Structure 1
Amino acid sequence: MAIKQTTNEGLKRGYVITLTAAEIAAKIEAEIKKIAPQVKMPGFRPGKVPANLVKKMHGEQIHGQTVNDMIRESVDGLIADESLRPAMQPAVSLNEDYEEGKDAEITVELEVLPEIEAPSTDGLKLEKLTVPVSDEALEEAIANIAGSNKSYKDAAKTKKAADGNQLIIDFVGKLDGEEFEGGKAEDAPLVIGSGAFIPGFEEQLVGVKAGDEKTITVTFPEEYQAEHLAGKEATFDVTVKAVKIETETKIDDEFAKNLGLDSLDKLKEIMTGQLEQQTAGLTRTQMKRQLLDQLAAGHDFAVPSQMVDAEFEQIWAQLQQEAAKEEDPEAAIKEIEAEKDDYKAIAERRVRLGLLLSEIGQANDVQVSQQEMQMLIQQAAQQYREEDRERFMQYMQQDPMAAAQLRAPLYEDKVVDFLFDKADVTEREVTIEELQEAIEADEEAEADKAKKAPAKKKAPAKKAAAKKPAAKKAPAKKADDKEEAKKAPAKKAAAKKAPTKKAAAKKPAAKKAPAKKAADKK
């Protein structure tokens, strides 16, 4: 095997690895001898099939697998021998005119991580903006709980149901006159106007009285979770057993006890903690932006273009999704298109800061424990169907790249926490509006700083990526990307009773929002 370096410019590296025909032939012969004892052929005793017949029968398959194995081993050896730190999966290709009996030339192109001197963590100064829980906010939160835990009492028998009234009903759903699974219930509570049932169901019950029987006709939404019902017209035979009116909810110790708590004071204590937790996330976001600004101010080094492209693609995909939800999607997309270069600059800044945080973490022995990693994998597995969770967990254990991507956000948070502990932090109380304004100002500042960053030397034109050999599939980037390398199992669909309105789909976990949302219209 011979290795020749073809590119060494900035962070780009290129190599050509030559596997001689003799090396390949020797490897194939060794492989045939290894498998020959396991081959069965009529007319020969087990383990006695001649090697030349094994080669005749399976030679093409053995040759292909052997070459792929040698490519993988040679690339891994190159990375180890040259002490390379690939930024992303190398692009690997076999010369197109290769055939058995000839030398094989493997082209390897990659970008390496930059050498970064670990920055000093001394002298960091941060301001922590905190939002105290006001009496008004606490009262409003408890009032919201009371509003979602309304109590009702029986109305007069002659009372006609109206918006806000609660009905107790039995119903039987039918398709073409036949009952369908999940379309039947007894003593089901339904508040008219709540939107809890599919469109058209509640509206047709306005005006009914206790004891009434009514058949209503509705059409299930096209996107209904039960495929056999989606878009179908159905009838429901409804028996009204009671009409109830809302009673005033008194917020006192008895109300708290109905929620399973000892007293109203205990409820206030719990709600105060929850409100503090809600603003703690915003406080952390604002502190983290300050921290990153201070780190970015003192470091300006070249970053791998592939990593920048990948980060930009994530930002751009999210922006396009948000733009598509606007009242005028075409105008929103046109707006973000005009600022495309700004978002590319933001992507470069984020990659640089990510590498910087990684270097700080390694220099200070910040670790993600095996137990923490297992918890991460288990949490991620919950988004899949129960029968697919084990397969997902095995996939994460077998694919280091996928596991590293799952680990990255937690590792970054731990490095940030480490730096928070090292920093000189002063606290200042603000309102929630002031905290939100500070975060928005920081978002604008991130975009401005990214745009004002000095231009980097333009990288030389990249060679066209040749087709990768089968044995060297690129690992899937993230569960969201759903690349072909090892597809994650399909997500679990929620099952609900037929007349119940479809719940909003749970959003996947958390990609960072772009720093500057051009499509936002407040």
Structure 2
Amino acid sequence: MQVTETLNEGLKRAYQITVPAADLDAKVNEKLTEAQPDIEMKGFRKGKVPMALLKKQYGQRLLGEVMQESIDGAMSAHFEESGDRPALQPEVKMEGGEDWKEGDDVVVTMSYEALPEIPEVEMKGVALEKLVVKASEEDVEEALKQLAGSAKTFKDRRKGSKAKHGDQIVIDFLGKVDGEAFDGGAAEDYPLELGSGSFIPGFEEQLIGAKAEEELEVNVTFPEEYGAENLAGKDAVFECKVKAVKAPAEAELDDELAKQFGAEDLDALKAQVTERLEAEFVGAARQVTKRGLLDALDGQVTFELPPSLLEAEAKQIAHQLWHEENPEVEGHDHPEIETTDEHTALAERRVRLGLLLAEIGQKAEVEVSDAEMTQAIMNQARQYPGQERQFFEFVQQNQQMQQQLRAPLFEDKVVDYLIELADVTEKEVTKADLEKAIEALEDE
């Protein structure tokens, strides 16, 4: 086998790999000889099938296996000997193509971009600032008011009041189609918020103006695409008795509100809210510290970047920014988006820092545990209510998806590792100061 370098320009590499036909034939014979004792064929005893017949029967398939094994072996040996690490999967092409025939040497070209040598970084002397925010009483009160606003409560209207849009009415109802009651069409003491759209179209509108103790009929038509086939498109009559009419009321900050959110009392809810707010502040402050770290690393090292990675990242940035500027376009059926110098500059920073963090993480033996991956998958699965199990199974069978989830976890662990090595100074600031710092990150 012969490996000849044909290109060595910057990070670009190309090689010609030649596997002699005699070597291929020898390896095919070796595999057949190894398998011969276990092969049975009609007219021959086990292990006594002539080699020529075996080669005629299995030689073509084994030749394909041997060719692939030889090329893979040559590539592995090359990377081990040269120390090169390809930035992307090497491109491999067989010369001759369809004109190649058994008995010819196999000649393939392998081309790739090598990852650059990445210099060591010196964390000694890197000064970082860690913003610390304590949740003030005003912050906690504001969060509690937001919770109260999200907790819908209703209070009885004055006797004789008519139900309005947004009110809650408590009803007994019985639904009939062609004079016959149907399964699932009846309930007692059912609380219905008018305008919620939770019932069949047209149902809630007919109850606006109803009073407590009033009995009335509601006439509706089930949608054609209704889930129950026996009701789809059918006219129905609901006999309704209104038992109460209630107006929306602002929830009070008391123990009852706390219990709605799983806390024992208001003090316990305040403690939970304080803890949640300060956890959010820690997460936001970490973004500021991380940006400071990345800026320090970016200014400390420089090295050549693989053109293919740079081009792919610039295109992705251009595509993302275009969609942010054109939110009405949800799909990808749009004209090709040209990359600009600004996109390329952003890509250079991202690729450089990405390669640097990957190198540091590898040398520091940073790993993402199975438990951390499982948690990440579960967090992502929550975005698909009712389909969590299917999503989990999809990720387990999809290596690319696993890598997409693992990459940010790995980067965050490397960042934490580097922050530990830096000179970090804590600075207590207000919530407003933290918000300004976050806004500044977004404006850059």
Normalising by the residue count of structure 1, what TM-score does the alignment of the two structures yield? 0.69
- Kindly indicate whether the alpha-carbon contact (under 8 Å) linking 1:91 and 1:110 is maintained by their aligned counterparts in 2: yes
Give the secondary structure class of the aligned counterpart of 1:70.
helix
Cα distance in 2 for residues equivalent to 1:205 and 1:105:
81
Task: State the alpha-carbon separation in 1 of the partners of residues 314 and 349 from structure 2.
Answer: 11
Any idea what SS the aligned residue of 2:263 has?
coil
Q: CA deviation at 1:424?
A: 2.7
Decide whether aligned partners of structure 1 residues 236 and 165 sit closer, same or farther in structure 2, where only a CA change above 3 A counts.
Answer: farther
Alignment check: 8 A CA contact 2:396 2:402 kept = no
Match of 1:442 in 2: 441
Q: Distance in 1 between matches of 2:348 and 2:376?
A: 27
Q: Residues 175 and 233 of structure 1 are in contact (CA less than 8 Å); yes or no, is this contact kept in structure 2?
A: no
SS at match of 1:109: strand
1:260 maps to 262
Amino acid corresponding to residue 324 of structure 2 in structure 1: E
Distance 1:292 1:262, change over 3 A: same
Number of the residue aligned with 1:409 = 408
SS at match of 1:368: coil
CA drift at 1:277 = 2.3
Counterpart of 2:324 in structure 1 is 322
Comparing 119-128 and 155-164, the one that deviates more: 155-164
- 1:308 Cα deviation from its structure 2 partner: 1.9
Write the distance in 2 (CA, Å) between the matches of 1:53 and 1:176: 79
Matching residue within 214, 222, 225 for 2:218: 214
Q: Which residue of 1 aligns with 2:396?
A: 393
Segment drifting more, 127-136 vs 106-115 = 127-136
Q: Is the 1:167–1:243 contact (alpha carbons within 8 Å) kept by the matching residues of 2?
A: yes
Displacement of 1:430: 3.4
User: How far off its partner does 1:198 sit?
Assistant: 7.7
- State the superposition RMSD in angstroms: 4.1
**Of 106, 126, 151, the match for 2:153:** 151
- Secondary structure, counterpart of 2:129 in structure 1: strand
C-alpha distance after superposition, 1:446-473 (max 9, x if no partner): xxxxxxxxxxxxxxxxxxxxxxxxxxxx
Structure 1 residue 77: Cα displacement: 2.0
Aligned-partner SS, 2:253 = coil
**Of the candidates 298, 301, 305, which is equivalent to residue 300 of structure 2?**
298
Distance in structure 2 (CA, Å) of the matches to 1:59 and 1:177? 78
Gaps of 5+ in 2: none
Are the structure 2 counterparts of residues 402 and 140 from structure 1 closer, same or farther at C-alpha, using a change threshold of 3 Å? closer
Counterpart in the other structure of 2:55: 55
Change in Cα spacing, 1:45 to 1:212, as seen in structure 2 (3 Å) is farther
Task: Provide the rounded CA distance (Å) in 2 between the counterparts of 1:174 and 1:8.
Answer: 81
Q: Which moved more, 1:259-268 or 1:168-177?
A: 168-177
Q: Does 1:101 align with 2:106?
A: no
Aligned to 1:345: 345
| Preserved CA contact (<8 Å) 2:314 2:344 | yes
Deviation, structure 1 residue 437: 3.8
Q: What does the per-residue CA deviation read over 1:323-347, in whole Å, with 9 as the maximum and x for residues that have no partner? A: 44249999xx99x958733122211
Question: Partners of 2:181 and 2:34 in 1: how far apart?
Answer: 63
Alignment of 1:444-483 (within 5 A): 444-445=443-444
Cα distance in structure 2, aligned partners of 1:104 and 1:176: 79
Contact 2:218 2:239 in 1 (8 A): yes
Letter in 1 for 2:252: K
One-letter identity of the residue aligned with 1:152:
F
Give the Cα separation in 1 of the matches to 2:88 and 2:431.
43
Is the Cα contact below 8 Å between 1:169 and 1:238 reproduced in 2?
Answer: no
Q: Is the 8 A contact 1:15 1:107 kept in 2?
A: yes
Q: Residue 135 of structure 2 contacts residue 274 of structure 2 at CA under 8 Å; is this kept in 1?
A: yes
User: What percent of counterpart residues are identical?
Assistant: 41
Q: Displacement, 1:280?
A: 2.6
C-alpha distance in structure 2 between counterparts of 1:328 and 1:375, whole Å: 29
1:61 Cα deviation after fit: 3.0
Partner residue, 2:130:
128
Gaps of 5+ in 1: 446-522
TM superposition score normalised by structure 2: 0.80
Amino acid at match of 2:149: G
What is the match of residue 118 of structure 2?
Answer: 116
CA offsets, 1:293-346, max 9 Å, x none?
11111222111122223333433343344344249999xx99x95873312221
- Alpha-carbon displacement from aligned partner over 1:16-44 (angstroms, at most 9, x marks no partner): 11111111112222333445566565445
